[in-house]
Chain A
Amino acid sequence: MTRGMRESLVGIFVIVGVIIFIALYTWLSGRLSLTNTYDADVYFEDVEGLRVGDPAFVFGIEKGKVKSLKIEGDRVLVVLAMDSDIVLPEDTRFVIRAVSYIGADKYVKVTPGKSDNIPEFYIGMSGSLELEAVVSQLDSLITTFSKIEIPDLNEAVGKLSRDITRNLERLSSVVRHPVARIETLVIRMDSISMLLKGDGTMGKLLQSDELYEEIRETNLALKALITDINENPKKYLQIKVF
């Protein structure tokens, strides 16, 4: 191999190596994009761990990426590289959300508005994330539960059992006298019902149709007698003074 050819090959090797280095870095850092994009400047009060390269979802579809993050005064300028087919009017909402709690990955949720104006920059919404808020509450709940020690729980159960037993004993002592009285009453009621069944005098008196008819006839006869007495008192009352 001639010296010139060797020099050429080394030159090609170095140039190809450098090109691959640049291509690899551009590819891996997410700067290699085949779609046309434009920059949308969004100001957030707090980006909550958002990183360069995090996706921007429009109606759940990835349509952009975080291009850069920069602190400007008391807020953060987030430059989103949005696909050129997405139009972001003035009233577009930008919210930072968590993909998952474990991975702490973030994305920008973009909800395009309906206004006709396209501003120079947008104001994003910061604040606690729904998922993280829920998980945070769950965490505090788990912490509270974890503070309860088993010996304490056993003691509480024992105490509760003793209280229940004591209350049952009191209740049974209070209930005992009325129960005895009720039993006596039931016995007496039974004896009365036996009397009224018809075997005794009272039963016959209550259940005899013959007696009923007699009493009725007697009553009628008595009414007729009283009427007759009222009409003809002299017939029954003879008053002699001398």
Chain B
Amino acid sequence: MNLFNAIGDYSSFFFRSIFIPWQLKQTGYRILRQVYEVGINSLPIILLIAAFVGLVSVVQTSYQIAGTMPRYILGATVGRMVMIELGPILTALMVSGRCASSMAAEIGTMRVTEQIDALEIMAIDPYRFLNLPRIVGTFIALPLLTVIAEFDALIVSSTYAHYFLDVPFDVFNYGLTHYFYTREFFGGLVKAFFFSGVIATSGCYFGFKVRGGAREVGRAATHAVVTASILVLVLDFLVALVIFG
């Protein structure tokens, strides 16, 4: 299968999963369950990662600007780094590592144990039953996780700057707010929205395409994570090009 076939197959899989009658009564709870899986279950690790993102950002920026720029630049630089790039992309990579693999493994196991065939026999559309809740759930959970991660990173970085770098809260806050651009804030969230699409679709796609046994399920999980991570970075570039280019 060449690259164009793969892109076409992947895209049609995404649209086939999304543009179907939703039947909220039946899928509502399944969406909610996926929000729980992707959002709440990922929350501890995302909070931890975001805290260290904030710490690393503030330490590195402080080292770079020491003695050459006013201290409020620390807040401005860390704020923009976290909002535009680090917050959305690290959250997405973490969620792709955690959720895309589990989605691929779960659906792949259903495929090899012929549960999906059973669904079709019972006239239940597996795209609506399995894919739609995962994709929609990720669309809801990932932007919220990104916002929480950004907030966490900024709180941690400003606290560290206050207590360890002699940059008071109000000075840090001045840089943070003075160099705030609405476009950058929402640009980061737009990225998160696109990322959620590719993460969930990769998980479902590679799970659906499993043929064989347990070994193929494992490979599908690996492929799902790798593809989701690559697509996250590609989309990051494309969205940045459109919004900030």
Contacts and interface: CB of A to CB of B under 8 A. Distances in A.
Same assembly: yes
Contact of B35 (A10, A25, A27, A30): A10
Given A6-B33, A23-B151, A25-B185, A53 B144 contact: no
B79 A28 contact: yes
B147 A20 contact: yes
A130 to B, nearest CB: 20
A17 interface: yes
Interface string B136-177: 000011011101101100100000000000000000000011
Given A17-B144, A24-B150, A25-B185, A9 B40 contact: yes
Contacts of B140: 14
A13 interface: yes
Contacts of B144: 13-14, 17-18, 21
Contacts, number: 66
Nearest to A54: B178
Contact of B36 (A6, A17, A54): A6
Contacts of B150: 24
Given A24-B151, A28-B185, A9 B36 contact: yes
B32 interface: yes
A7 interface: yes
A20 B40 contact: no
Interface of B is mostly: helix
Contact of B180 (A14, A16, A29): A29
B178 A53 contact: yes
Interface residues of A, number: 23
Give the interface size class of chain B.
20 to 34
B43 interface: yes
Nearest to A14: B144
B177 A28 contact: yes
A131 B144 CA distance: 45
B182 interface: yes
A74 to B, nearest CB: 28
Given A9-B36, A10-B32, A14-B35, A28 B147 contact: no
Given A21-B144, A28-B180, A6 B32 contact: yes
A97 B86 CA distance: 34
A1 B133 CA distance: 19
B198 to A, nearest CB: 21
Given A10-B35, A24-B147, A30 B40 contact: no
B39 interface: yes
A30 B145 CA distance: 23
Given A6-B32, A6-B36, A10-B32, A30 B148 contact: no
A17 B177 contact: no
A81 to B, nearest CB: 13
Contacts of B39: 10, 13-14, 17
Interface in B9-55: 29, 32-33, 35-36, 39-40, 43
B177 A27 contact: yes
A71 B40 CA distance: 46
Interface string A5-43: 011011001101110110111011110000000000000
B35 A20 contact: no
A3 interface: yes
A98 to B, nearest CB: 14
Contacts of B36: 6, 9-10, 13
A29 to B, nearest CB: 6
3 closest cross-chain pairs (CB), A and B: A17-B144, A30-B177, A28-B180
Interface of A: 3, 6-7, 9-10, 13-14, 16-18, 20-21, 23-25, 27-30, 53-55, 105
24 contacts: A6-B36, A9-B36, A10-B32, A13-B39, A14-B39, A14-B140, A17-B144, A17-B147, A17-B148, A18-B144, A20-B148, A20-B151, A21-B147, A23-B151, A24-B150, A24-B154, A27-B176, A28-B83, A28-B176, A29-B180, A30-B180, A53-B180, A54-B178, A105-B178
